[in-house]
Chain A
Amino acid sequence: MGIVSDFFEWFGSLGVFFWQVLKAAVTPPYEWRELIRQLDEVGSKSLPLVATAGAAIGAVLSMEARSSLSRFGAKAMLPSAIVYSVVLEMGPIITGLVVSGRVGAGIGAELASMKVTEQIDAIEASAINPYRLLAATRILACILMLPLLTLAADATGVFSGWLTQTLVEPVSLRQFINGGFAGATFNDFLPPTFKTAVFGLIVGLIACFQGMRTRGGAEGVGRAATNSVVLASLFVILADVVLVKFIQVFFP
């Protein structure tokens, strides 16, 4: 019974928190300087990690798909298999998970540490809305940066897919790209890229929420960071299921 009520209490508090952030985000004064700092923190600093993860996934996909497609005599489909797999699913989900790990833990720990040392109270006591300054800027940065990071993961994934393929059986990059994107439309690629804005909302919202409701010293800070990563990753994967179906229905 306790777990069920805790579950509903958590969701209720998350809803109230989201409403507070939303109200603060749409009313002035706008915290442009902090937003730009967070765009850099979430975007530029996650780029190497996301690009590397994308490249690794592209290489693995290339190796696995080559072996599977060879069995069915469909090796010619390899570029398409890699491009579609990376751009439709692997790029977005890997970006979502990598960012929920790096940024989720960072935001969760930073805000939790500020909370237990009364720095968030000090911000509020200085007549500054912490939902606007701390939460809205971080969540917005996550929403704006996730699609851009996804494009980077897609690019390195496709490139490393080609590189892995060409090491075994030389093929030019132009040929690989032409083959991979043959018959593709923007409708195929834009919705999966932009769905990561929802991942950004999830990562930013959960990390800020967990950080700003922390209690209990160093242990609380550690718990907030762990919970931010675990919950953000879990909800990114669950949201992906819903979003894929949504995209299939509305962008066939």
Chain B
Amino acid sequence: MQSLATQTMTTSPDISTRRDQLELDGSAPVLSVTNLTKSFGNRKVLNGLSLSVNRGETIAVLGRSGTGKSVLLRIIIGLAKPDSGEVCIHGQNIAGLSMDQLGEFRKKMGFLFQHAALYDSLTVGENVAFPLDHHRRGMAQSEKTERVRQLLSEVGLERDAGKMPSDISGGMQKRAGLARALALEPEILLLDEPTAGLDPISSGEIDDLVLKLQREHNMASIVVTHDMYSAKTIANRLAILDKGQVVIEGTFKDLQASNIEFVQEFLSHA
């Protein structure tokens, strides 16, 4: 039986072509979330959150700890299910799909975990090759090796392919995680605290890398961060969350011009 995901993706080619055109010229979002709610026990983490991101655009999501920023990314990639609301990729709602049905959508997304989450029994090179081994089974080994070399070169780790994750620094682990996230050439990049726990120089390197990747790959990106400097550097738009909702969304200048007390307080401490 054809999976629901495949069915929805293959129906109405005219509509999907028109949508592709709209996404390309930025009129339609590649990814949108609408009225998301999520509770853990009695604690409501997301309370009607809505957000969208266009192709080639980066949005930084900021907010206090525990306001559901990482939960938002986990819901988008399907690692957590929302209590209600929609997550649309290319206009198709993926909330509530099963693991296998989500597969086709997940291949379009790259996810950088907060602690990189590299497979500790594999070398850096094998980590980057992992998605290719599973989703590009027909790819020749030489082609795969070249692709891994190219990805590692993009993040400046071409000489570290044979090292184990435990033998490299936190910043290098994040870069390796980023290379792995890019392996399947995603259209959407989700970054969870890409600069957390790094020194200012390593943070700057990650920011530069994200900017370079955006220029070269034209992806839609959502960056969850506490680092206002990083957010200003890499994002076109910033969204501040409070009590599970977006309080304000716009450029850094829009945020600075805001009269909202929480936003002013947040910026003054950032």
* A residues in contact (CB < 8 Å) with B: 27, 29, 113-114, 117-119, 121-129, 131, 133
Q: Say which one of B19-27, B30-38, B114-122 lies at the interface with A.
A: B114-122
Which B residues from 77 to 119 make CB contacts under 8 A with A? 77-79, 99-100, 102-104, 106-107, 109, 111, 113-115, 117-119
Q: In the complex, which of the residues B77, B100, B115 contacts A125, with contact meaning CB atoms closer than 8 Å?
A: B77
**Contact (Cβ within 8 A) B79 A119:** no
The answer to the question of B18 belonging to the interface, with a C-beta cut-off of 8 Å to chain A, is: no
**Contact (Cβ within 8 A) B130 A119:** no
The answer to the question of B134 belonging to the interface, with a C-beta cut-off of 8 Å to chain A, is: yes
**Contact (Cβ within 8 A) B106 A126:** yes
Task: Given A29-B137, A124-B79, answer yes or no on A129-B100 (Cβ-Cβ < 8 Å).
Answer: yes
**Contact (Cβ within 8 A) B134 A121:** no
**Contact (Cβ within 8 A) B137 A126:** no
Q: Which residues of B contact A27 (CB under 8 A)?
A: 100
Q: List 5 A-B contacts (CB under 8 A).
A: A29-B134, A118-B115, A126-B180, A127-B102, A127-B104
**Contact (Cβ within 8 A) B79 A125:** yes
**Contact (Cβ within 8 A) B130 A118:** no
Q: In the complex, which of the residues A117, A127, A128, A133 contacts B117, with contact meaning CB atoms closer than 8 Å?
A: A117
Q: In the complex, which of the residues A29, A122, A127, A129 contacts B119, with contact meaning CB atoms closer than 8 Å?
A: A122
Q: In the complex, which of the residues B107, B120, B134, B135 contacts A117, with contact meaning CB atoms closer than 8 Å?
A: B120
Between A27, A29, A114, A121, the greatest number of chain B beta carbons within 10 A of the residue's beta carbon is seen for: A121
Q: Which residues of B contact A129 (CB under 8 A)?
A: 99-100, 103
Q: Please give the distance in Å from A106's CB to the nearest CB on chain B.
A: 12
**Contact (Cβ within 8 A) A128 B134:** yes
Q: Please give the distance in Å from A131's CB to the nearest CB on chain B.
A: 8
**Contact (Cβ within 8 A) B79 A121:** yes
The answer to the question of B131 belonging to the interface, with a C-beta cut-off of 8 Å to chain A, is: yes
Q: Which residues of B contact A131 (CB under 8 A)?
A: 99
**Contact (Cβ within 8 A) A118 B117:** yes
Bound CA span A124–B109, Å = 12
Chain A at the B interface: mostly helix, strand, loop or mixed?
Answer: helix
Q: Please give the distance in Å from B167's CB to the nearest CB on chain A.
A: 16
Bound CA span A127–B103, Å = 5
Q: Please give the distance in Å from A157's CB to the nearest CB on chain B.
A: 35
Instruction: Considering the complex, give the chain B residue whose CB is closest to the CB of A133.
Output: B134
**Contact (Cβ within 8 A) A127 B137:** no
**Contact (Cβ within 8 A) A122 B100:** no
Q: Please give the distance in Å from B43's CB to the nearest CB on chain A.
A: 17
Instruction: Considering the complex, give the chain B residue whose CB is closest to the CB of A118.
Output: B117
Q: Which residues of A contact B114 (CB under 8 A)?
A: 118
**Contact (Cβ within 8 A) B103 A119:** no
Q: Which residues of A contact B79 (CB under 8 A)?
A: 121, 124-125
Q: Please give the distance in Å from B111's CB to the nearest CB on chain A.
A: 4
Bound CA span A125–B108, Å = 10
Bound CA span A17–B180, Å = 28
**Contact (Cβ within 8 A) A126 B134:** yes
Q: Please give the distance in Å from A111's CB to the nearest CB on chain B.
A: 12
Instruction: Considering the complex, give the chain A residue whose CB is closest to the CB of B131.
Output: A126
Q: In the complex, which of the residues A29, A113, A123, A127 contacts B107, with contact meaning CB atoms closer than 8 Å?
A: A127
Bound CA span A56–B114, Å = 50
Bound CA span A32–B74, Å = 29
Q: Please give the distance in Å from A110's CB to the nearest CB on chain B.
A: 8
Bound CA span A119–B79, Å = 12
Task: Given A29-B137, A127-B106, A128-B134, answer yes or no on A122-B117 (Cβ-Cβ < 8 Å).
Answer: yes
Q: Please give the distance in Å from A116's CB to the nearest CB on chain B.
A: 10
Q: Please give the distance in Å from A73's CB to the nearest CB on chain B.
A: 59
Bound CA span A113–B114, Å = 16
Which B residues from 1 to 50 make CB contacts under 8 A with A? none
